Each structure stands twice: as C-alpha cells, then as structure tokens.
Amino acid sequence: MNIVVLVKQVPDTYGERTLREDGRIDRERGTPALDEIDERALEVALRLRETAGGEVTVLTMGPPEAVVALRKALAMGADRAVHVCDEALAGSDALQTAAVLAAAVRATAAPGAATFDLVVAGNESTDGRTAAVPAMLAERLGLPQLTFLGSVAVDAGIVTGLRITPEGTTELCAALPAVISVTEGSAQPRFPNFKGIMSARSKPLTTLTLADLADHGLVEAEAGGANSWSLVCTVTARPARAGGTVISDDGTGGSRIAAFLAAANLI
C-alpha cells in the first residue's frame, strides 16, 4: 500500500506566535517545528505500512526551511519526501493549497506504482486550524474523505475508521483510494532513533516547483497570495492583559477570592 502523508512546518505552540499585518503567520519569529498532529498522521501511516507493506511518502508545501520538517519525518521512518517549494506559492489560501497538494499527490505516486492508495493528514494544523485542506484535497482528487479519525484500519482495499467529534463518534468506511485525517488521540508518535536519523540522509527528497506540477493539473497563474480566493483585510492584536492583584495565602486566600468575586458580582 502506498501512502502519502501531508505534513506542515508550523510555529511551535510552546513559543510566541505572531501575525503579520497582511494576516500571514510570521514565520521569521517563533520556533519552527513539524506540526505535532502531522507526527501522529505519520505514525498512523508507518503502522499501516508495517502490516500492509508499501511505501510512505511525506509531502509538504512550504518555504525552503520546511525541509527540516521533512528530514524529521524521514528520520521517523518515511521512505521518501516531496517538497513543493516555489516563491510564487507564498500567501496561498486553503483552496489554492489543496490544488497544489492534489497535483503533487498525483505527481508523487511511488516509482513503479500505478498510483497512491491512501492520503493521511492531521485533522487540523495547530496554526491555521481550519481543518479545510484534507476535505478540499479529497474533493479535488474526487475521493471520499474519512476525517477526524481516532482509529484507522485498512483491510482488503477498504479503509475503516472511527470519527470523533464533540457530538459523538461515527463509524466510517470507504474503498481505497481515500483521504483520511487523524486526531490527537490516534497514535503516539515514535521518536527518531540514531539509525533513523543517519538513514534519513540517504533517502530520496524531491523538490518540485509550480512548473513541475503543470502537467498534473495545476494552473500556475492561479497560485499565490495575489490570486487567493479569501483575503485578510485587517489584523488587530488583542491588547495585552494586565495582571491584577496577587496575594500569598495567609490562611484567608479562599475567602479573599470569594470577596473579590462578590465585589465583581460573579457569585
């Protein structure tokens, strides 16, 4: 089974994250990291490969620095990596990103394989959090999407999974090929070991430009922020919160909180 895993380099959620005036995330500031939800998606793919065989390809669209995220994924155990990297892609919205990824998925079928069987993504990135790309990609590829899965199984060409939402759980199934996305509870990602880190250096890492994807259904002239279908027109930072009163508990701490709440009409 040939699996494509979508990964994204995002600002680490343990650091400060800032938005530029044009509404894009400031990727110069903050610590870049392979989005942790994507590590879980990769873990799910690696486990499926262990039982079903085949290859795992990690795919990202992003600036040159995003290669770091791909190297980590290779060190964790992915077989190949594909990096769609082109200055003209900067500022792409979800619709444009899904179009690029669809073309790249078509272009990245493993050597010798007719096509891919499964695309695995995280349910939502920790920066954008719109959860739009997996569904958009499925629509672009004309495939079913099985998203927000807490567990996944593939057997005899059928993928099944348990979708977890605040409303409850839903059992889903579809014939391959399909697009799935997984939640935080899906799998605990492995740490890259020394052997993995060493072998990652010799694994194939392909860089594709927009021109390379033109044969796979992508229209170059529609790429990038200037052509995006959704635009940010104003950005307002929330004013910093000023700290209030902090006391040390002298045996009356609980009562003092109650008095504060009473004065604010919150009891």
Partner 1 sequence: MGRILVLAEHNTGTLDTVTRELLAAAARLGEPAVVLLTGPGAGPALAGQLAGWGVTDVYLAESTYAGTRLTTPAVAALEAAVRLARAAGAEVSGVLIAGTIDGREVAARLCVRLTAGLISDAVDARLRDGVIVATVPVLGGAYTVEAVAKGLAVVTVRPHSIVADGIPGSVPDRDVPGGTVTAPIRLEIDAELERGRGAEIVAVHPRPASGIRPGLTEASVVVSGGRGLGSDEGFGLAGDLADLFGGAVGASRAAVEAGLCEPGLQVGQTGATVTPELYIALGISGAIQHRAGMQGAGTIIAVNKDADAPIFAVADFGVVGDVFTVVPQLIEAVVAHRAAAG
Q: Which of residues 198 and 258 has its CB atom nearest to partner 1 in the complex? A: 258
CA pair distance 5, 54, nearest whole angstrom: 13
Q: Rule CB under 8 A: say whether 219 interacts with partner 1.
A: no
Residue ranges in 141-160 that form contacts with partner 1 under rule CB under 8 A: 142-148, 160
Choice from 172, 210, 218, 223 touching partner 1 (CB under 8 A):
172
CB-facing half-sphere around the CA of 43: CA atoms within 13 A: 20
Write the CB contacts of 256 (distance below 8 Å, at least 6 apart in sequence): 247
Beta-strand relationship, 3-6 and 56-61: parallel
Residue ranges in 81-110 that form contacts with partner 1 under rule CB under 8 A: 93-95, 98
Torsion of Cα atoms, 222 then 223 then 228 then 234, to 10°? -150
Which two structure tokens, joined as six digits, stand for 192? Answer: 């890259």
Q: Which of residues 90 and 95 has its CB atom nearest to partner 1 in the complex? A: 95
CA pair distance 5, 43, nearest whole angstrom: 10
Residue ranges in 2-31 that form contacts with partner 1 under rule CB under 8 A: 13-17, 19, 23, 25
Listed ranges 56-64, 84-92, 139-147, 211-219: which one lies at the site for partner 1 (CB under 8 A): 139-147
Choice from 53, 111, 112, 168 touching partner 1 (CB under 8 A):
168
Listed ranges 1-9, 49-57, 108-116, 178-186: which one lies at the site for partner 1 (CB under 8 A): 178-186
Q: Which of residues 37 and 70 has its CB atom nearest to partner 1 in the complex? A: 37
Q: Rule CB under 8 A: say whether 231 interacts with partner 1.
A: yes
Burial class (CB in 10 A: 0-12, 13-18, 19+), 263: exposed
Residue ranges in 37-56 that form contacts with partner 1 under rule CB under 8 A: 37
